[in-house]
Chain A
Amino acid sequence: MSIKLTTQAYCKMLLHAAKYPHCAVNGLLVAEKQKEKKKDSHSTPILCVDCIPLFHGTLALAPMLEVALTLIDTWCKENKYVIAGYYQANERTKDFRPNQFAEKVGARIAENFSEAAMIMVDSTRFTMGCYEPILAIYDHHENKWKCRDCNADCFEDWCEAQKITSALLEGRSYESLIDFDNHLDDLRNDWTNPEINKSVLHLC
């Protein structure tokens, strides 16, 4: 079972990494809740429609992650979403392999959503032009995480994702990106990022 990403989901992930180039960052991906499981459902990919940036800096502490999962779970239920994935960009550019923490969070998400994906951002290939997808997507099989090739097929519309992400990076939209850490610093900061969502829509 494979996942696909919308432009909005991919965009916000990269903006989060771009806002904190000197930190590790992580976040969640959400998909629309499927009504029923069809017989041949293994052929329909899950579409991750949005991304919730969570933390930057020290990631490996439990309490705020639990708070975030609780609040975002409620939000998901209201919007008929389900938490479908977890992304992480490590502090060191050259370090793009999932660590113990990423696997733990991924496994936790997989408990509630069996087709959950774990995504690692490869910062070594991160450019303003966004000419290639810079993700490594891991699927959960028999308690192990297996890496899948990430190419244009992993996106709802790669050309659109590339164009819009690049435009927003050039325009420094990452300066106004809000993650859950920002929300905890000031509750008025909205981790659903409505302004950035608008910008993405506007450029579509």
Chain B
Amino acid sequence: TPVQTDWRVNVLIIVFTEMRDKLRKWREDNHRNSEQIVDVGEELINEHASKLGDDIWIIYEQVMIAALDCSRDDLAWTCLQELKRQFPGSQRVKRLAGMRLEALEKYEDASKQYDSILQDDPTNTAARKRKISILKAQGKSAEAIRELNEYLEQFVGDQEAWHELSELYINEHDYGKAAFCLEELMMTNPHNHLYCEQYAEVKYTQGGLENLELSRKYFAQALKLNNRNMRALFGLYMSASHIAASPKVNATVKKANVKYATWATNQINRAYQVSYARCLL
């Protein structure tokens, strides 16, 4: 009967819309939840391809990358073939083919793929960054750092690259250089509380009274930008406590930092209360 059919079709439409919207949200948030993307994306592609319109191409790309993460070469290959067919000769698709080679650990072939992109288009930043990722995957940290520095001399506004470089430096315990990268990011993104907070963490890790005081200031700044940043709040507590306990500070500085630490403790307690969670501080 007509009413029953409508109900079933409506449910399918709702399910399809939800799945498509989920994928879009994960794309926008740059979420690396690859297993879920493969689950949702594979079903969407297999069952609802006709309803996706032009969205299908970006979904093929998203699902392909997630499939590589999950060692689903079968699915990745399918997506890649669809994209190759629709966009023959595309640099963007060539880069995806390169990523598949990387996933198969065929680093030399992948590198050649990216080199061929760069021959046609020397300013292709995606290909250059993939080559640096290969160095990282091979554990060649020093080379990756060197190449990334060279890249940033040319593409000084690439925030993703500055952030990647800061992480590479942190892993090498080169906190001074990591701080420099985060300073670049803070300059171009003064309202980003995460960069502020990460900079504070690096300064704290570097150690010494001067760096501790800087870290406290930047934890405080991060809190000003986002008063719900728990890392900044805890960081403020830790840095102020350490400064107050230092034999090198005078009574005034000590008193001020005790005040900061106490304020932070109260805020931490309140945050736990609001979450109905137990505060162990």
Contacts and interface: CB of A to CB of B under 8 A. Distances in A.
B69 A22 contact: yes
B16 interface: no
A7 to B, nearest CB: 24
Given A22-B32, A67-B238, A188-B276, A61 B202 contact: yes
A85 B271 CA distance: 30
B173 A64 contact: no
B167 interface: yes
A125 interface: no
B201 A92 contact: no
B161 interface: no
29 contacts: A22-B69, A58-B167, A60-B170, A60-B171, A60-B173, A61-B170, A61-B204, A62-B204, A62-B205, A63-B205, A63-B234, A63-B238, A64-B234, A64-B235, A67-B234, A67-B235, A70-B281, A92-B137, A92-B139, A95-B139, A184-B231, A184-B234, A185-B230, A187-B272, A187-B275, A187-B277, A188-B275, A188-B277, A190-B277
Interface of B: 32, 35, 69, 137, 139, 167, 170-171, 173, 200-202, 204-205, 207, 215, 230-231, 234-235, 238-239, 271-272, 275-277, 280-281
Nearest to A187: B275
Q: How large is the interface on A (under 10, 10 to 19, 20 to 34, 35 or more residues)?
A: 20 to 34
A80 B224 CA distance: 39
Q: Interface on chain B toward A: helix, strand, loop, or mixed SS?
A: helix
Interface in A177-204: 184-188, 190
A75 B171 CA distance: 29
Interface of A: 21-22, 58, 60-64, 66-67, 70-71, 74-75, 92, 94-95, 100-101, 172, 184-188, 190
